[in-house]
């Protein structure tokens, strides 16, 4: 009997974290380099860069750990 292995929901969560991390990190780097006129109080901390990097790292960890692997079909 042939049974298909289901893909873990955590793999898709990892993909979402990866996508959001790329977007937020890109926006943070753009804001850092553009020196926009409207500054917030703690803009010198560059929280978008740190937050984007954290999401990117977590997304990579989740995608690698929960990557769907094919089982050996010899059995």
The predicted pLDDT at position 3 comes to 61
Quick: pLDDT tens for 2-28.
Answer: 567 788 999 999 999 999 999 999 999
Six-digit token string for 5: 């292995």
Q: Is the pTM of this model over 0.85?
A: no
Please give the full DSSP string across the chain, using - where no structure is assigned.
---PPPPPHHHHHHHHHHHHHHHHHHHHHHHHHHT-SS--TTGGG-HHHHHHHHHHHHHHHHHHHT---PPPTT-
Task: Report the C-alpha gap between 68 and 26 in whole angstroms.
Answer: 28
Quick: pLDDT tens for 53-72.
Answer: 999 999 999 999 999 986 65
- Which pairs from 40-48 meet CB under 8 Å and 24+ separation? 48/24
């Amino acid at each position: 009997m042939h049974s298909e292995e289901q893909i873990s929901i955590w793999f898709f969560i990892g993909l979402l974290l990866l996508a959001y991390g790329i977007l937020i990190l890109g926006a943070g780097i753009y804001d850092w380099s553009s020196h926009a006129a409207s500054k917030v109080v703690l803009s010198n901390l560059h929280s978008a860069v740190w937050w984007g990097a954290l999401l990117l790292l977590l997304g990579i960890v989740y995608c690698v750990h929960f990557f769907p692997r094919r089982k050996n079909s010899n059995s």
